[in-house]
Structure 1
Amino acid sequence: MRYAIVTETYPPEINGVALTVEGLAQGLRARGHSIDLVRPRQSGDGDAHQDALLVHGFPLPRYPGLRFGAPALRTLARHWNAWRPDAVYIATEGPLGWAARRVARRLRVPVATGFHTRFDHYMRDYGFGVLEPIALRWMRRFHNAGDATLVATRQLQDELAQHRFANPMRLARAVDGAQFHPAKRDARLRESWGAGDGTLVALHVGRIAAEKNLGLAIAAFRAMQRVRSGSKMVFVGDGPLRASLAQANPDIVFAGLRRGEDLARHFASGDVFLFPSRSETFGNVTLEAMASGVATIAFDYGAAREHLRHGQSGLRVPDGDAAAFITSATQLSVDDVGLRRMRVAARAGIEHLHPDQVAAQFDALLQMLANRRRIADAQLAPD
């Protein structure tokens, strides 16, 4: 089969969407399919790039290093007329995504869209709450023009159906259990943070930005410090709030962006993963923390609801209950026995999640859409 994947973010950019899309593309290639990747040109790209169509892009406000793709209607039409895909997956709702959806519809190529980002919730997080319903309508219009909207959880599938999204379908997520593993725990790295064997280390991995609700993570850590002196906190990632948070919290370690094995070492070297975000569609970092043997505290939605067993592999907090989040962090910080048990159970809880299973499901969904379109076209064809 020939599949096209359209995305406005892709590694080496570091974010959940980029890494998820990369995994899907790799999974389809491993299954023997031809993949046409369409994305904005990044710094360091040459004039040609194997298996990729590179288009112009422009900076994304407040997100240095990320770019929107230009609406390359003519380029896409010319390219897909010469290399017609059997199905298209559009991962992002930016100008490039809208253009790809339009060209695919014109060519009668089936389209699956990915619901990766809660732009409606971002309106609230950045002080534009009045625009939240407008953003939701804009997203619904985009996704309903496709043949299916792929989501990561049953909860989100139900929510979108209630908001009149036409055909939300669940595509599970997985985690690389070989890369993220408790064996990657590094005593020297912990020492560089000022943490010894008995020091409790709270960890946050992700973009350091308003939508991540990081004030609550810091409040929870300060409460942990009050009941367990000497505790440390480490932020892994970068973003627009990093400088101000670092200035206001000089005792917190800001480790910056980490990739690959270095990221795996940082994950495994923590003890408690504080994840207070309420704007995720899933939260890949939750699975990465679990795979690394780190007890997680998160709100009861997304990956936490799907995979975290409350009281066994971590703690799920009622969505939006900041006081309960802080209480959970303080309780866990003084329960060494429970913490050790949760760390073991967290790893065990992801053993069944294999990336090849996700690739197989993704392949089956795209093939289903392609078969539906072939049948519909055959019925419309003149005798």
Structure 2
Amino acid sequence: MMQRLNIAIVTETYPPEINGVANTMLHLAEGLAERGHRMQLVRPRQHADRDQSATGSITPYLVPGLPIPGYHGLRFGLPVYWRLRRNWHRSTPDLVYIATQGPLGHAALAAARALKIPTVTGFHTQFHQYSQHYGLGILTHRIADTLRHFHNRSDTTLVPTVDLQTELSAGGFQNVQVFGRGVDVERFSPVWRDPDLRRAWGCEDDTLVVLYVGRVAAEKNLDLARESFAAILSDRPDARFVLVGDGPELAHLRRDFPDFICTGSKIGAELSAHYASGDLFLFPSLTETFGNVVTEAMASGLPVIAFDYAAAHAHIEPWVNGVTLTPGDRTAFIAASRQAAQDQASRRQMGEAARQTAEGISWERVLGVVEERLFEVINRQRGTEAGHATLAATSE
């Protein structure tokens, strides 16, 4: 019988915030709760938060935070070491999962280690690569060293792909295991295509809509998406470029490219409709740990043009259900975008195949693997016979 665990998840981002890490943490917390585990969710208090009442088996533990410059609505948690240590001393989790490496994450790791609580960290963001896009390339190696030191203090680091596991292990990260990603194929589906939305974009039924969904920021390499769309326009002058998302570069794009349709962030049914109402998805980022938008676009029936790493490498077969290019090859990315835009029949076939691929990417399967990883960490630290004083004995 599977034992129930008391698990604390520490994250500095969570819905209604809109980003891949927040989305993954939602699936992790809710999925493990549905499997019978008791979840404590430690995160910064947001302006919209009213109380700390539990929702089902998920109990929020809200801590003070401060705004993140350039990212409206996002906050980082303060390093509340003693508050966490007192809370976890009174009610000790069986395991702490730390998703983010900000001040709150560092405090949580220190508190968990001081109390000898098994600890897992998630490598969700390539912060060391981000530095190159903000004029801080000189700090890349130092940031990588800091990340390695942080993660190596945990019992296991979980990453979304085998490629990233190999890369980090070669770079001195220890005990790196894979925690993949699923996709909600009911929420993201071609059935949500919306002719009225397309008309609002100024599009006819046969207008080519090129789509990007994600943060509008320097590290997303959006200049390449813009260059690719310019090449597409040479063949399809009626094509429209729709960018869904928010970020520090959004005002610049709206000002310099008034023909682009910049919708801002979308959630829920609106996001589903925006995905499904596109025809071709461009994703030129080179800084992803996974890239949830790739599988969301595939589930929505769109062929994706992306570089061959992370989610694209894991799930795209070139010119079958999308297109992948050698990372960093700008010329090839532009050429592939143009070719896919020209060939409507191929584009539709790839979109249908992308949907079929996405239907096999189940969050239920992913959560089963994560659950196994968490039990492995607990058993490795404490021994399968010793157990833990607070381990819930209830069987499912």
Could you tell me the TM-score, scaled by structure 1's length?
A: 0.97
Q: Distance in 2 between matches of 1:152 and 1:198?
A: 37
> Is the 1:36–1:52 contact (alpha carbons within 8 Å) kept by the matching residues of 2?
yes
Give 2:86's aligned residue. Answer: 78
> Is the 1:87–1:367 contact (alpha carbons within 8 Å) kept by the matching residues of 2?
no
Q: Distance in 2 between matches of 1:249 and 1:329?
A: 19
What are the ranges of 5 or more consecutive residues in structure 2 without an aligned counterpart?
A: 388-396
Give 1:324's aligned residue. Answer: 332
> % of aligned pairs identical?
48
> Is the 1:101–1:146 contact (alpha carbons within 8 Å) kept by the matching residues of 2?
yes
1:87 to 70, 82, 95: 95
1:242-321 paired onto structure 2 within 5 Å: 242-321=250-329
Q: Which amino acid aligns with 2:143?
A: A
Q: CA deviation at 1:117?
A: 0.5
Give 1:218's aligned residue. Answer: 226
Give 2:40's aligned residue. Answer: 36
SS in 2 for 1:349: helix
Q: Deviations over 1:6-37 (max 9, x none)?
A: 00011111010011011100000000000011
Q: CA deviation at 1:49?
A: 3.5
Give 1:336's aligned residue. Answer: 344
Give 1:187's aligned residue. Answer: 195
**2:170 is equivalent to residue 170 of structure 1:** no
Q: Distance in 2 between matches of 1:357 and 1:64?
A: 34
**2:121 is equivalent to residue 113 of structure 1:** yes
1:61 to 46, 69, 78: 69
**2:151 is equivalent to residue 143 of structure 1:** yes
Give 2:361's aligned residue. Answer: 353
Give 1:227's aligned residue. Answer: 235
Q: Deviations over 1:183-202 (max 9, x none)?
A: 11111111111111111110
Q: Distance in 2 between matches of 1:168 and 1:64?
A: 33
Q: Distance in 1 between matches of 2:253 and 2:101?
A: 30
Q: CA deviation at 1:218?
A: 0.8
**2:100 is equivalent to residue 96 of structure 1:** no
Could you tell me the TM-score, scaled by structure 2's length?
A: 0.94
Which of 362-371 and 26-35 deviates more? Answer: 362-371
**2:24 is equivalent to residue 20 of structure 1:** yes
Q: Which amino acid aligns with 1:42?
A: Q
Please tell me the root mean square deviation across aligned C-alpha atoms, in Å: 1.2
Q: Distance in 2 between matches of 1:109 and 1:157?
A: 24
Q: CA deviation at 1:66?
A: 1.1
2:161 to 126, 136, 153: 153
Give 1:46's aligned residue. Answer: 50
Q: Which amino acid aligns with 2:29?
A: A
SS in 2 for 1:339: helix
Q: Distance in 2 between matches of 1:376 and 1:24?
A: 24
Q: Which amino acid aligns with 1:98?
A: H
Q: Deviations over 1:121-171 (max 9, x none)?
A: 011011111100000000000000001110000110000011000111001
Which of 55-64 and 250-259 deviates more? Answer: 55-64
Cα pair distance change 1:146/1:376, threshold 3 Å: farther
Q: Which amino acid aligns with 2:335?
A: T
Q: Distance in 2 between matches of 1:136 and 1:22?
A: 27
Q: Deviations over 1:348-383 (max 9, x none)?
A: 01111111111111111111111122219959xxxx
Q: Distance in 2 between matches of 1:22 and 1:362?
A: 14
Q: Distance in 2 between matches of 1:221 and 1:38?
A: 42
Give 1:197's aligned residue. Answer: 205
Give 1:7's aligned residue. Answer: 11
Q: Distance in 2 between matches of 1:127 and 1:278?
A: 16
SS in 2 for 1:255: strand
Q: CA deviation at 1:64?
A: 2.3
Q: CA deviation at 1:62?
A: 2.3
Q: Which amino acid aligns with 2:228?
A: A
Could you list the runs of 4 or more consecutive aligned residues of structure 1 that deviate by over 6 angstroms after TM superposition? none
Q: Which amino acid aligns with 2:173?
A: F
SS in 1 for 2:358: coil
SS in 2 for 1:93: coil
Q: Which amino acid aligns with 2:163?
A: Q
Q: Distance in 2 between matches of 1:253 and 1:244?
A: 13
Q: Which amino acid aligns with 1:10?
A: Y
Q: Distance in 2 between matches of 1:97 and 1:52?
A: 16
